[in-house]
Amino acid sequence: MLLYSIANSKHQVDLKEAVLHSLPPDGSLYMPTNIPQLPSSFWSRFRGQSLQANAFEIAKAMLQGAIPDDALKNIVDKTVDFPVPLVQLDEQSYVLELFHGPSLAFKDFGARFLAGLMSYFTQETNEKLVILVATSGDTGGAVAAGFYNTPGVDVVILYPKGKVSDFQESQLTTWGGNIHAIALDGAFDDCQALVKKAFKDKELNESIRFSSANSINIGRLIPQMFYYFEALRQLPEVAFKGNEIIVCVPSGNFGNLTAGVFAKHMGLPIQRFIAANNDNDTFLEFLRSGRFLPKPSVPTYSNAMDVGNPSNFIRLYDYFGKHFDSGDPDCSTWNMMQSQIRGYSFTNQDTL
Q: From the candidates 60, 78, 107, 295, give the one annotated as an active-site residue.
A: 107
User: Distance (Å, rounded) from C-alpha 99 to C-alpha 339?
Assistant: 30
Which are the contacts of 218, defined by CB distance < 8 A and separation ≥ 6? 3, 15, 18, 19, 29, 30, 31, 32
Q: Is 200 among the residues known to form the active site?
A: no
Alpha helices in 126-201 (DSSP H): 138-147, 166-173, 188-200
Three-state DSSP at 130 gives strand
From the list 228, 223, 134, the residue with the least C-alpha distance to 187 is 134
Which are the contacts of 139, defined by CB distance < 8 A and separation ≥ 6? 105, 107, 111, 133, 213, 214, 215, 304
Q: What is the CA radius of gyration of the chain?
A: 19
Which are the contacts of 73, defined by CB distance < 8 A and separation ≥ 6? 56
User: Distance (Å, rounded) from C-alpha 298 to C-alpha 293?
Assistant: 15
Q: Which residues are known to be catalytic?
A: 107
